Amino acid sequence: MIKKALCALPLALALVSTTSTAKAPEDILDELAAKSKSPYLTQSPQNRMMMPDNPAYDIAAEGEQLFKQKRGPKNASLEQCDFGKGPGVLKGAYVELPRYFSDTGKVMDFESRLVYCMKTLQGYTDNDPQIRQRHGNTDIMKLTTYIAMQSNGMPWNPPMNHPLEKAMRDAGEELFYRRAGPMDFNCATCHTNPSGTRIRASVLPNIKIPEEWTKAISWPAYRVGHEAVRSSQHRVLECLWQMRYPNLKPDSDVNIALISFWTDRARGQPAILPDMKR
Amino acid sequence: MLHKTPISAAVAAATLTLFTAGCTATGQVQPKATEAPAQVDYTKMKPQELAEYLVFQSGSYDLAQPTQEGTTGKDRLTQDELQKVCSQVARSGKEIDDKTAERINKMAMATIKYPEGGIKLGDWRKGRDIAWSGFGFRTAHNPDDHNRGTPGGNCYNCHQLAADRTGGTIGPSLTGYGKIRGSSPEMLKYAYEVIYNPHAYFACTQMPRSGAKGLLTQQQILDVMAYLFDPASPVNK
C-alpha cells in the first residue's frame, strides 16, 4: 500500500504544478469581484497589486521541504498523511475539509488533521514546539500554506455524507447565531450586514453572499498588518477576541464546527489560495 | 482505508461509540487536543443541544479563564434571557415579532438606572475618547489589562461620529446628532436610555448594553452624551 502511494506521488505533484499555474489567486479574485461588484472584494487595491508577489509563496516553499523531509522521533516525512483523499493526495484535499475520518472517528478540519499526522507519522507530541507553536512563522503555518495551495481555484466542497459531518455543520450554524458575552455579540452581528458595511474602516464579509464568503474563508492568507500568514483557526480566535469571549483551544470542536459551517456556506465558490488580507 | 466508500463510512458510524470507547479502554494513544469525550454521540443531539454541549462540555473554551470583571470564561458564555431570545430571532432569519419585541423592550427598560443628579451632559472631550476606544474586556488569547487603560465604548466601530475620522456603518450615522435632534430633556433621556440599554427601544439590536452590562459607568455615559450633544463637540461641527 505504501509502495503504491509512493509511486503515485510524483504524478500527483506534477499535476499540481500544472494546475496551479492555470489561474492565479488574483485572477480568481478579479473574476469574483467583476461578477459581484462587492466592496469587500475590492476594498484593498494595494493587496490586490501585491498578490502576485505574495510572501506566502516563500513560506509555502519552506512548507514543501518540511513536508517531504524525514523528521521527528519516528524520522518520517508527511508524505503518507491522508487528508481525506488518500495517503499523500494533496490536490483538492484542502477544499474538502472539514470531513469525517474513520481512523479517529471524528470530523477534523485541516489543522487538526495535520497535527494528527505529525503525531502519528512523525511521533511529535503536544509538548513539542512543532505542535505547540501554531501561529506566526511556524512549521504548521508553512505546511498549511504549501498544502492549501494545492487546492487553489477549486470549489469548496466539504463532504456531508457522514451524519457527524452534518451534525458539526449544523452545530456550527447554531454557534454562529449564539449571542453571548458582555457585548451580546454573535458572529451574525458583524457578518450578516448589507454588502459594504464596515466595522470602523474594515469592510465586513457577509456569510450570505457566497462570492464574499469564499474570500473570507480563504485562509491561509498573508496578513499585511501582521506580516505573517494566518490560518482559519487564527481568524476564529481574532473574532472571538473582539467578541470578548474566552480563549478557544486549538483543534477544539467549537473551532471545527464553526469552520464546518463557514466552509459549507462557501460551497461551490472557488478558493483563493493563498490569499492576501488586511 | 485508501478508498472511502459510503458503506465503510456507514459501518464506521455505526461502530463509532464502540470504537472510540475501545481506544480509550485499551490505552491507545489518541491526540489529546482532538479527543472528544467518548461517551456522547453527537449525531443523537439536536443542533442547538450539540452547540451548547460544544460550548460548555467539549473542552473547547477555557471556561476557567479569569475575566476583567472578576468572573470566568464560563460566565461570559452563559446566556441571559435576552441573549437567548435574541439568538433565536437571529437564527430564524426573520424579523422579530411584535409580542417578543414588546417583551424585550420592557425587560430592557427595567434594567435602566438613572444618575442621581439627573441627566446632565458631561465632558465632550472625555466622551470623545470613550466613543473612539475599543479597548477593554477582550480576553481570548490576549486579555486586556484594565490597569493599563480605561475600557472604551466601541461606538466608533459601528457609528460614523464626527466627520474628522472614519467610523463604522453597522449602526446609523450619528454625525450632527445634537444639532439635528436638539437637546430637550426628553431627547437626553432617550439617548441615555439607548446607550444604557438599547433594547428598550430596539429589541434584539446589535448594539451592546453599555450601562446594563457594566461596560460604561453612568458618568461615562454622560460624557459620551456630551460628545453627541454639546454644540462645541466635533460631532456637531
Q: Dump pLDDT digits (tens) for B55-96.
A: 999 999 999 999 999 999 999 999 999 999 999 999 999 999
Query: With an 8 Å Cβ cutoff, are A245 and B48 in contact?
Result: no
Asked about A81 being catalytic, the answer comes back as no
Please state the domain count of chain A.
Answer: 1
Rounded to whole angstroms, how far apart are CA atoms A226 and A41? Answer: 20
Asked if B99 has any chain A CB less than 8 Å from its own CB, the reply is no
Q: List, in sequence order, the alpha helices (H) in chain A.
A: 2-19, 25-36, 45-50, 56-68, 110-120, 129-132, 139-149, 163-177, 187-191, 210-216, 232-242, 253-264
Q: Residue B33: CB partners within 8 Å, gap ≥ 6?
A: A112, A115, A126, A249, A250, A251, A252
- DSSP letter at B62? -
User: For the packed helices A110-120 and A139-149, what is the interaxial angle rounded to 10 degrees?
Assistant: 120
Residue B141 is nearest to which of A100, A241, A257, comparing CB atoms? A241
Quote the pLDDT of residue B131: 98
Query: With an 8 Å Cβ cutoff, are B55 and A254 in contact?
Result: yes
Rounded to whole angstroms, how far apart are CA atoms B108 and B85? Answer: 13
What residues are paired with A202 via a beta bridge?
A199
Say how many residues make up chain B: 237
Which residues of chain A fall below pLDDT 70?
A: 1-21
- DSSP letter at A156? B
CB-CB neighbors (< 8 A) of A116 in chain B: 31, 34
Residue A201 is nearest to which of B91, B142, B166, comparing CB atoms? B166
Query: With an 8 Å Cβ cutoff, are A105 and B16 in contact?
Result: yes
Asked if B94 has any chain A CB less than 8 Å from its own CB, the reply is no
First to last CA, chain B: 70
Residue type, B222: L
Closest-CA distance, B110 to chain A, in angstroms, reads 18
CB-CB neighbors (< 8 A) of A2 in chain B: none
What residues are paired with A270 via a beta bridge?
A155
Question: Closest-CA residue in chain A for B12?
Answer: A102
**% helix, strand, coil for chain B, step of 5:** 50, 0, 50
Closest-CA distance, A176 to chain B, in angstroms, reads 8
Query: With an 8 Å Cβ cutoff, are A116 and B31 in contact?
Result: yes
Residue A69 sits in which domain range?
2-73+80-277
Q: How many CB pairs under 8 A join A and B?
A: 208
Question: Closest-CA residue in chain A for B3?
Answer: A86
| CA proximity to A232, closest of A56, A76, A112 | A112
Quote the pLDDT of residue B17: 37
CB atoms closer than 10 angstroms to residue A40:
23
Rounded to whole angstroms, how far apart are CA atoms B237 and B178? Answer: 10
Q: What percent of chain B has pLDDT over 70?
A: 84
CB-CB neighbors (< 8 A) of B32 in chain A: 126
Question: Closest-CA residue in chain B for A165?
Answer: B43
Query: With an 8 Å Cβ cutoff, are A253 and B60 in contact?
Result: yes
Rounded to whole angstroms, how far apart are CA atoms B85 and B96? Answer: 10
Closest-CA distance, A260 to chain B, in angstroms, reads 13
What does pTM read for this prediction?
A: 0.90
CB-CB neighbors (< 8 A) of A252 in chain B: 33, 58-61
Question: Closest-CA residue in chain A for B140?
Answer: A247
Asked if B180 has any chain A CB less than 8 Å from its own CB, the reply is no
Quote the pLDDT of residue B15: 38
Q: Is B94 exposed, middle or buried (0-12, 13-18, 19+ CB in 10 A)?
A: exposed
Which one of 1.20.1740.10, 1.10.760.10, 3.40.50.2300, 3.40.50.620 gives the CATH number of domain B124-236? Answer: 1.10.760.10
Q: What is the CATH number of the domain that holds A114?
A: 1.10.760.10
Q: How many helices (H) does chain B have, and how many strands (E)? A: 11, 0
CB-CB neighbors (< 8 A) of B139 in chain A: 241, 244-247
* Spans of all domains in chain B: 124-236
Q: Which long-range contacts (CB under 8 A, 24 or more apart) does A33-40 make?
A: A35/A211, A36/A209, A36/A211, A36/A212, A38/A195, A38/A196, A38/A209, A38/A211, A38/A212, A39/A195, A39/A196, A39/A203, A40/A195, A40/A196, A40/A203, A40/A204, A40/A205, A40/A206, A40/A212, A40/A215, A40/A216
CB-CB neighbors (< 8 A) of A112 in chain B: 31, 33-34
Quote the pLDDT of residue B39: 73
Rounded to whole angstroms, how far apart are CA atoms A164 and B43? Answer: 6
- Which three cell numbers mark B50? 450539540
- Which three cell numbers mark A183? 457585548
CB of A255 closer than 8 Å to CB of A233: yes
Rounded to whole angstroms, how far apart are CA atoms B143 and B137? Answer: 7
CB-CB neighbors (< 8 A) of B156 in chain A: 200
Query: With an 8 Å Cβ cutoff, are B62 and A249 in contact?
Result: yes
Which residues of chain B fall below pLDDT 70?
A: 1-38
Quote the pLDDT of residue B9: 41
Rounded to whole angstroms, how far apart are CA atoms A208 and A200? Answer: 21
Query: With an 8 Å Cβ cutoff, are B32 and A82 in contact?
Result: no
Q: List, in sequence order, the alpha helices (H) in B110-172.
A: 124-131, 155-158
